[in-house]
Amino acid sequence: MSETNNVEQMIKVMSRNGWRITDQRRLLAEIFAKTDGYLSPKYVYDQMTVHYPSVSFDTVYRNLRLLSEMGALEQFYFMDGGLKFRMNCSNHHHHHLICMNCEKTLTFDYCPMETTLKLPGNFKIINHRFEVYGVCEECQESS
């Protein structure tokens, strides 16, 4: 099943980068594998403590940072400046549709940079950011 695969894949990435596979890191992988939204450090920490009460916030934080540095997670500052992480789906370029209530995200392939976009100035384009924010179907119903 796919959740397990995601866990194993993340573990493999860590191993390949020479990291040790601790219980904490395995649990971290499991938490991300079973969610498709952006998670805050605090949320991840709370989830961790459910199965592993002695874990420290620093360790969670540290590993979140390391995992995104190595590319297994994707790091993201929301519109309100809050830091979030999600499993990296970097295989192909895409953008996100994000629920402002539950923060579940869907990906879509349309990219505005692929159109013949006439931009002012003579900038050397490096990067872009495009996200659509809204309320998902479930959250619309439950309000």
Partner DNA sequence: CTATCTGCAAAAAGTTTGCACTTTT
Partner DNA sequence: AAAAGTGCAAACTTTTTGCAGATAG
Question: Interface with a second copy by CB under 8 A: which residues?
Answer: 77-81, 83, 97, 99-100, 106-108, 110, 112-113, 115, 117-137, 140
Binding to DNA by residue 9, rule CB under 7 A? no
Largest CA distance in the chain: 54
CA–CA distance, 85 with 97 (Å, rounded to integer):
15
Tell whether 136 is in a known binding site. Answer: yes
Contact by Cβ (8 Å): 96, 109:
no
Dihedral, CA atoms, 86, 127, 93, 66, nearest 10 degrees?
-30
Residue 99's binding partner out of a second copy, DNA, none, with CB under 5 to 8 Å set by partner kind: a second copy
Among the listed residues 143, 134, 45, 56, the one whose alpha carbon sits nearest the alpha carbon of residue 96: 134
With CB under 7 A as the contact rule, the residue among 43, 61, 76, 78 that binds DNA is 61
Tell whether 128 is in a known binding site. Answer: yes
Tell me which residues in 40-59 interact with DNA (CB under 7 A).
41-42, 52, 54-59
- Residues interacting with DNA, by CB under 7 A? 15, 18-25, 41-42, 52, 54-59, 61-63, 65, 81-83
